[in-house]
Structure 1
Amino acid sequence: MSSSLNPSIDRARQAERIAQAEVHVFRADQHAEICHELVDGHQAVLKAYGIKSLTTFNRDWIGNPKVIVIAAVGLGAGVDGRTGRLLGGARMHGAHTVDELPLLKAIGGQDSGLREHMEPYVEEGAFELGGMWNSIEMAGMGVEATFMIQAAMAALTICGGRHLFALTSPVT
Structure 2
Amino acid sequence: MNNLIFKIRAFKAVDNPEACEKYIEGHARILRLFGLSMITSANPGWLDDPDTYVVCVESGDGRKIYGGGRIQVASGNLLLPIETAICEKDPSIHQTIDMYAQKGTGEICGLWNSREMAANGVGSIHLGRAMVAVAGQLNLNSLFALCAPATVRNCIRVGYETARFIGDNGRLCYPKDHLLATAMVIKDLQNLPAAAPGERLLIQDLRDNPFQRKLEPGLKGRMLDVQYELDIKEQVPVYCVA
TM-score interval w.r.t. the shorter chain?
A: 0.7 to 0.9
Q: Which has the higher helix share?
A: 1
- Identify the residue that residue 14 of structure 2 maps to in structure 1: 29
| Separation in structure 2 between the aligned mates of residue 48 and residue 144 of structure 1, nearest angstrom | 18
What does residue 89 of structure 1 align with? 68
What is the DSSP-based 3-state SS (H/G/I as helix, E as strand, rest coil) of the residue aligned with 1:111?
A: coil
Distance in 2 of aligned mates of 1:18 and 1:56 = 33
Alpha-carbon distance, 1:56 to partner: 4.7
5+ residue gaps, structure 1: 1-16, 77-82
Q: CA deviation at 1:28?
A: 0.6
1:129-155 residue CA offsets vs partner (Å, 9 max, x unmatched): 111101112101212212222111100
Distance in 1, matches of 2:38 and 2:142, equals 28
**Corresponding letter in the other structure for 1:86:** I
What pairs with 1:151-162 in structure 2 (closer than 5 Å)? 151-162=130-141
Query: Per-residue CA shift, 1:103-158, capped at 9, x if unaligned?
Result: 11221121033233333321111111111101112101212212222111100111
Question: Whole-Å Cα distance in 2 between the matches of residues 99 and 75 of structure 1?
Answer: 33
Matches within 5 A, 1:1-172: 19-76=4-61, 84-97=63-76, 100-170=79-149
Identity %: 28
Q: What letter is aligned with 1:30? A: D
Other structure's SS at 1:158 match: coil
Which stretches in structure 2 are left out of the alignment for 5+ residues?
Answer: 152-242
Displacement of 1:98: 9.6
Q: How many residues align?
A: 150
Q: Deviations over 1:33-75 (max 9, x none)?
A: 1101111101111111121332453211113210001011111
Partner AA of 1:40 in structure 2: E
Structure 1's consecutive aligned runs of 4 or more residues displaced over 6 angstroms after TM superposition are none
CA distance in 2, matches of 1:37, 1:18: 25
Cα distance in 2, alignment partners of residues 62 and 45 from structure 1: 19
Q: 1:29·1:62 contact (CA, 8 Å) conserved in 2?
A: yes
Alpha-carbon RMSD across the aligned residues, in angstroms, is 2.2
Aligned mates of 1:155, 1:92 — CA distance in 2: 9
- TM-score under structure 2 length normalisation: 0.56
Amino acid at match of 1:27: K
8 A Cα contact 1:74 1:84, kept in partner:
yes
TM-score by structure 1 length? 0.78
Q: What CA deviation, in whole Å up to 9, does each residue of 1:74-117 have, x standing for no partner?
A: 115xxxxxx53111000111113496212112211210332333
Residues 27, 42 of structure 2: 8 Å contact kept: no
Letter in 2 for 1:162: N
Q: Say whether the 8 Å CA contact 1:18–1:137 is kept in structure 2.
A: no
Higher fraction of strand? 2
